[in-house]
Amino acid sequence: MATALHYFRWAFLVTILGLALAFWLGWGYDHRLAGAISFLMIGAVLAILEISLSFDNAIVNANKLAQMTPVWQKRFLTWGILIAVFGMRIIFPLLIVVIAAGIGPWDALVLAATKPNDYARIIGEAHMSIAAFGGTFLMMVALRYFIDEGKEVDWIRALECQLRRCASVRGLEIAFVLGIVLVFASVLPHGDVGRFLFASVGGLLTFLGVEVLGHVLDRREAAMGAAAQGGFGAFLYLEVLDASFSFDGVIGAFALTHNLFLIAIGLGIGAMYVRSMTIMLVERQTLSEFRYLEHGAFYSILVLSIIMFAQTLWHIPELVTGVLGSGFIGVALISSILHNRRQAA
């Protein structure tokens, strides 16, 4: 079996190339060594930020990938990473500016290159809609995992047993999410309520739409002899999930720099480590070895969704998000290790 470092060889290569590109970009903007080193350091911090926010993403990806056909696994790990790096880290921020400012894609790119402060301001103004959309989608992802009659392993039994018993109530998770949305809408400034509700409903409809489309497409593939494993539907689900995870990192990156290209470099490096972690978790069957690790990831997702909703009212540092998410996964890992020792005793 390959060593852990073997899985990260491409991530290490991208790190070297990415940081070298960040250094060159800083030199091009500032024409001083200090400016180049500053860009290099910010790029490294952005990569670490992305990795710390994406542990749960890697675990959920690995769980879904294990249920996919080998062909679609390879497609996700090639096409999917290209979409993640270029789509979410470059095209998505540009698309926000295109829609919010009513300008063309090329004008948005020029704005990012020549007037990064104006570009960041427009992104910031769209933060409420992004947080509402992402918070709703991710909360649905987490609740759909816990409110499931077929779920067999519980970590926090007192809570998870009750949630599993509630699975017979159809639409319970949707009702819960809509209730959370209404609570936040009731305390938001009147001028922001419309945007918040529109984006939240959009997040809910996107989750339901992707789930329905995934079932239809995968059932069609199964009927054509592709077995009962996930195909394009699962691929689509993972792409939308990755997009929702990326919202927090992309917005948080603007607290460090307003340079779109530096953000793309730093977050792109982090995305490669997420890909490497995903492959390692699948091939080494880490999720089956550590039975509560997946639970920790979904608790982390639930916390992230609450934080995204809370960000519509207050500024919450990305460090808090990263620490809480990593904390749940860390505690779940320790619980898994203790469980394995008890079983071996």
Among candidates 287, 207, 300, which has minimal Cα distance to 248? 300
Determine contact, residues 244/258, Cβ cutoff 8 Å: no
Compute CA 127 distance to the chain's CA centroid, rounded to the nearest angstrom.
16
Query: Which DSSP symbol is given to 230?
Result: B
Q: Along the 345 residues of the chain, how does pLDDT read in single tens digits? A: 456 677 888 888 989 999 999 999 888 887 888 888 888 888 887 887 777 666 777 777 777 777 777 787 788 777 877 776 667 667 777 777 777 777 788 888 888 778 877 877 887 777 888 888 888 988 998 898 888 887 888 888 888 888 888 888 888 899 999 999 999 999 999 889 999 999 899 889 988 887 787 667 656 655 554 444 556 777 777 777 777 666 666 666 766 677 878 888 888 888 888 888 888 887 777 777 788 888 888 888 888 889 889 988 888 876 677 778 778 888 988 998 898 888 886
Q: Is 315 exposed, middle or buried (0-12, 13-18, 19+ CB in 10 A)?
A: exposed
Q: DSSP of 123-155, one letter per residue?
A: HHHTHHHHHHHHHHHHHHHHHHHHS-TT----S
Rounded to whole angstroms, how far apart are CA atoms 81 and 209? 22
Phi, psi of 277 (to 5 degrees): -60, -40
Distances (CA, A) of 129 to 107, 212, 237, 239, 322: 22, 24, 21, 19, 21
Cα–Cα distances (Å) from 153 to 30, 156, 169, 296, 336, in that order, read: 55, 10, 20, 12, 12
